[in-house]
Amino acid sequence: MNFYNHRKLGFIYVGIDCHKASHTAVVISPFNDKLDTLTFKNTKEDFNKLLDMVLKYTSKEVKAVFGLEDTKHLGHTLCSFLLSHNQIVKHVNSNYTYNERKKHPIIDKTDELDAECIAKVTLDELDHLPDAKDDEIYWTLKQLIKMKTTLANTNVKLKNKLHAQLLHHYPNYKEFFSKIDHISALDFWETYPSPNMIKELSAEELKESLTTKGKFPITKANTILNLIKNYDYKTLYMKIIEIC
């Protein structure tokens, strides 16, 4: 084998440590010589500055390989930019970077050191690192699913809090509505947070006060008034005061 024509000699290696507002890039040669470094903002204008810095070390025979630990979150925009400019982008497993960093007898962890470690891993593991892909549609879908999951979990927490509060004011609240977060139920809890506010009302008065917000049948008003008529209000409110 002619080592003078080894394919790794046909590249320079750019390691990028990605953060939310800015990134740090280090360029090394195939012989692990540090050629350049740049800290740039997470904007398209500064991405062009990165390309300008890197491309001055390239030629027809030498191309650039970019190594990023994060191509799906903090580095997603940069990764998409580089791929759109026909650059080679590799996804670097963070475990590789961690092992490379341990080789350096340096106490302080810096972005430049991390970027240099990523560049060295890109060089050493070039044949084994997966290519980054511009999967914008799938990335967007993943973010929407995460958002939906977060909203669903938040909704469960809020419903549990509502259960806890209703238990103190309406001990048999589960008999009022089939679902405590139904539109009629939410209107009722908001308008009458305390049974003391409706104990003197007639079924017709209760119905009329809630009809403006939606359908509230007279039968439902009668059911609720019958359920609270035997409340021991003195004992109930003493418990509420103790809780508060």
Query: Both tokens of residue 68?
Result: 């990023």
| Domain span(s) for CATH 3.30.420.10 in the chain | 3-134
Question: Would you place residue 233 in the very low, low, confident or very high pLDDT band (cuts 50, 70, 90)?
Answer: low
Contacts of 28 (CB under 8 A, 6+ apart): 12, 13, 15, 34, 35, 116, 119, 120, 123
The residue behind tokens 């440590």 is 17
Judge whether residue 236 has pLDDT over 80: no
Kindly report, residue by residue over 93-133, the tens digit of the pLDDT. 999 998 988 887 766 778 999 999 999 999 999 999 999 88
pLDDT at 215 over 80: no
Report the distance separating Cα 53 and Cα 110, nearest Å.
21
Percent of residues, the chain, with pLDDT higher than 70: 89
Which residue is it, tokens 């982008």? Answer: 89
The stretch 65-71 carries a mean pLDDT of 91
What CA–CA distance (Å, rounded) separates 6 from 124? 13
Residue 230, pLDDT score? 74
Asked: is 3-134 a CATH 3.30.450.40 domain? The reply is: no
Q: Specify the pLDDT at position 103.
A: 82
**What are 105-108's contacts with CB under 8 Å, separation 24+?**
none
Mean pLDDT confidence for 39-45: 94
DSSP-derived letter for residue 1 is -
